[in-house]
Structure 1
Amino acid sequence: MDITIFIEKWIWFGSAAVGFAILFNVPVRTLIPIFLMAALGGIIKLLFLPYIGIVFSSLLGCILIGLLSIFAAHFKHSPPFIFAIPAVIPMVPGTFAYFTMKGFIKLAYNTNPNEFEQILYDTVTNGSKTLFVLMAITIGVYAPMLLTRKESAKQIKIPLLKLGKK
């Protein structure tokens, strides 16, 4: 791909994320980091897309966004999800979801048995891609936050139950 296409995509990923961030009413001080995280995550997705497919490239982009959101949260004194959620929304597979629903509608009104198998195959393929990309987005955003949380499970104190004692 040409470098101008990457710059254009970079701007569109960041702009879409900032638009959703404004829609979610995030603090103004978080808009620049959201733009940068969405742009970097989207470019990582586009760079790896031809080599490892849409699911794993989305996972890599979302892991980067998840990691960057932790660092941005410390610098901007906001929760990491304020940065991560608007930044990953441009990665949601809307086209695959649209064609899945369109396939379901075609299946409901299909009267030609010769076309049924192809429509069913396309619908299941698009639905599977949608599901797996959404799972990759969820895992990619949440895994860095889960792995780098402040308090480990060993430090959590659970009071012991005293059975039989009043």
Structure 2
Amino acid sequence: MDYLALLEKGIWLGCAGVGFAVLFNVPRRTLGVIYLIAALGGMLKFYFLSLEVGLILSTLSGASLIGFASILAAHYRKSPPMTFALPALIPMIPGLYAYKAMVGIMKLTAEKDPVAYGKLFFETVNNGLSALFIILSLAAGVAIPMLIARKETVKRIKPELVLEK
């Protein structure tokens, strides 16, 4: 495991998260926390990928970390949790898989050879399903922690007690 490469990816993911936060016009007091949450969530995803856990499960774990960290950050920075979660999640969206699926669909319309069509069809479906399941894991990874924490309001959660457990 190359920890320096992992740290570099975290730095760039944090920068991308802050970039999207600025684009969404979030309050300035939240930018540092968004950077940290995006970097940690992305680094956890890439760490699990280096352990060959699997792309979907790695993405789910990174998104879950972002979800739980957003809830804690919402308490300290007095902003809604989605203010922290959305900009931190956007750099983890699977653009390459979606792009390859769309290009594959366009190529399928022009392909005449049945053997090449079959190969291209399965590659296109694989890329499309990969993009779909990654997006679903991102959504579930953020939604589940927020639904769990919804039993009580964020103001009643004592982060010190959560961190002690």
Where structure 2 has 5 or more consecutive residues not aligned to the other structure, the ranges are 154-165
What does residue 42 of structure 1 align with? 42
Where structure 1 has 5 or more consecutive residues not aligned to the other structure, the ranges are 153-166
What does residue 16 of structure 1 align with? 16
In the TM superposition, residue 116 of structure 1 has moved relative to its aligned partner by: 0.5
Q: Distance in 1 between matches of 2:15 and 2:39?
A: 8
What does residue 74 of structure 1 align with? 75
**Whose radius of gyration is greater, 1 or 2?**
1
Q: Which moved more, 1:132-141 or 1:5-14?
A: 5-14
Q: Distance in 2 between matches of 1:149 and 1:6?
A: 33
What does residue 54 of structure 2 align with? 53
Q: SS in structure 1 opposite 2:54?
A: helix
Listed as ranges, the matches of 1:5-154 within 5 Å are: 5-50=5-50, 51-151=52-152
Deviations 1:7-29, CA, capped at 9 Å, x for gaps: 21011100000000000000000
Q: Which stretches of structure 1, 4 residues or longer, exceed 4 Å deviation after superposition? A: none
Corresponding pairs, count: 152
Contact 2:6 2:47 in 1 (8 A): no
AA paired with 1:23? Answer: L
Q: Distance in 2 between matches of 1:4 and 1:151?
A: 39
Identical positions, percent: 49
In the TM superposition, residue 112 of structure 1 has moved relative to its aligned partner by: 1.9
Q: Distance in 2 between matches of 1:108 and 1:66?
A: 40
Q: Distance in 2 between matches of 1:7 and 1:144?
A: 25
AA paired with 2:45? Answer: K
Deviations 1:48-70, CA, capped at 9 Å, x for gaps: 11422110000000000000000
In the TM superposition, residue 114 of structure 1 has moved relative to its aligned partner by: 2.0
Q: SS in structure 2 opposite 1:111?
A: coil
In the TM superposition, residue 2 of structure 1 has moved relative to its aligned partner by: 2.1
TM-score (norm 2): 0.89
